[in-house]
Amino acid sequence: MKMLVALLLLSMLGNAVEALGEDSKEQCKFKPKLDPRPHSVSIVEFGAIGDGKTLNTGAFQNAIFYLNSFADKGGAQLYVPPGKWLTGSFNLTSHLTLFLEKDAIILGSQDPSHWGITDPLPSYGRGIDIPGSRYRSLINGYNLNDVVITGNNGTIDGQGSYWWDSFLSHSLNYSRPNLVEIVESVGVVVSNLTFLNAPAYNIHPVYCSHVLVQNISAYAPSSSPYTIGVVPDSTDYMCIENSNISMGYDAITLKSGWDEHGIKYGRPTSYVHIKQVNLEASTGSAVAFGSEMSGGISHVLVEQLQIKNSLSGIVFRTGVGRGGYIQNIEVSSVEMENIHTAFNASGQFESHPDKEYDPNALPILDQITIDQVFGVNITVAGSFTGIKNSPFEFTLSEISLELNSASSSSPSSAWVCSDVVGSSKSVFPEPCPELKSSSYSNSFSSSSIATLTSEGLASHI
């Protein structure tokens, strides 16, 4: 019966991803077709024991090796039944569905020897945490086509406390692993799962095309250092939708390589659509661009967000030496509540992979539009600190933010600006002079915000 349920759910998800539109607005309109995989096996058939204590890495590896023989026969499914399935790193194969039943939990081992070591990504030149190599992710895919990681709300738990403690104590031998990392692959679906306690990133598609992340929940404690939910990295044609993400650092971060390594690799993140997601970011931002963005980030639509209890709402990070660009970005229809800084853009990120970066490689940030944003209990409306000789450019409209008692008594001090240009219309509090246009109209006021608050923000999106 459970196997039948799995197959029926697969018939709703699809195993072949159609080409998405040539527009960021189109990415979430095209859903994968779902045909059940013609072959399916259970991890139990390969000797796995779901007691939370027995290491099952070999069972996962052997099962996927076996299922690889069906790749040219319509593909196959690896079924994970209820239980706690402890494992180290393992690799997926093409035309495969990894399906986690309800109450199935894949547990990442807390022994670093069970994760393995891999080379740094070429667009970074080193590990993120420390120079050199990095630990392999828990679930990996390389050069794949048509891979689905899904379930009946099963769970992937990285048991990240070991990694967080090692990071904070500076005792890591290599950079921390992620939960799911798919590299140089086409047609990737991650859906209907819960992700817990990632050592670093939860879902990390790198150099991929046509990726769908849908109906997932991801959580890490507010104290977990630099944990991030979903990280599109030098990846194009991607949709992230209908999900709940609460992280210690960022909820969603778009990246594309680090300094000269990202410039040389030259693969941007582009045509990404993020919609209908609930986000919390304790010490970071709900949606961040960069700071590693040297391959470029463009054609991104972010809309219909609920952001709560976060250090920052929407953030753009870069620095001298990055090169690259962040362009053609649209953020709209956003509700914010209990946020320290609603909007932040900084060109002062000075971390570099090595000393070989080009200090004359100035990033470009322009054609960035933010509109239809309503917020309550905001401390700072916006902080825009650009780069001399490469000012940031923004267009703001229909923004209404209620400042809290921790904010400055002067609404004009709610914005901090330098090396930024742009225009604004119907923005309250009134933005800094660099972001005003001749058509500026302060149509919002404290009384209109009170009306918004009393009526509920959702009705104004």
pTM: 0.91
The pLDDT value recorded for residue 34 is: 67
How large is the average pLDDT for residues 77-88?
98
The pLDDT value recorded for residue 444 is: 45
Tell me the β-bridge partners of 416.
383
The pLDDT value recorded for residue 35 is: 77
Q: Of 183-197, 223-237, 238-252, 396-410, where does mean pLDDT reach its minimum?
A: 396-410
How large is the average pLDDT for residues 332-347?
98
| 436, pLDDT greater than 70 | yes
DSSP-assigned states of every residue in 34-64: ----SEEEEGGGGT---EEEEE-HHHHHHHH
Report the alpha-carbon distance of residue 220 to residue 251 in Å, rounded: 10
The pLDDT value recorded for residue 412 is: 60
Question: Both ends of the chain: CA-CA distance in Å?
Answer: 43
| 17, pLDDT greater than 90 | no
CATH code that applies to domain 2-460: 2.160.20.10
The pLDDT value recorded for residue 405 is: 85
- The CA angle 408-385-405, to the nearest 5 degrees, is 15
Q: What are 137-154's pLDDT values in tens digits? A: 999 999 999 999 999 999
| 448, pLDDT greater than 50 | no
232 and 271 in contact (C-beta within 8 Å)? no
Q: Of 190-199, 250-259, 262-271, 434-443, where does mean pLDDT reach its minimum?
A: 434-443
> C-alpha 120: how far from its chain's center?
19
Q: Sort residue 430 into left (φ over 0), alpha (ψ -120 to 50) or beta.
A: beta
How large is the average pLDDT for residues 225-250?
98
Q: What are 103-118's pLDDT values in tens digits? A: 999 999 999 999 999 9
How large is the average pLDDT for residues 156-168?
98
How large is the average pLDDT for residues 32-58?
93
Residues of the chain with pLDDT > 90, as a percent, come to: 85
Q: Of 25-29, 396-400, 441-445, where does mean pLDDT reach its minimum?
A: 441-445
Q: Of 269-278, 306-315, 438-447, where does mean pLDDT reach its minimum?
A: 438-447
| 45, pLDDT greater than 80 | yes
Residues of the chain with pLDDT > 70, as a percent, come to: 89
DSSP-assigned states of every residue in 335-381: EEEEEEEEEEEESB----SSTTS-TT---EEEEEEEEEEEEEEEEEE
> Which two tokens mark 221?
């404690």
Query: Per-domain residue ranges for the chain?
Result: 2-460
pLDDT band, very low/low/confident/very high, at 385 (cuts 50, 70, 90): very high
| 33, pLDDT greater than 80 | no
| 339, pLDDT greater than 80 | yes
The pLDDT value recorded for residue 23 is: 72
pLDDT band, very low/low/confident/very high, at 27 (cuts 50, 70, 90): confident
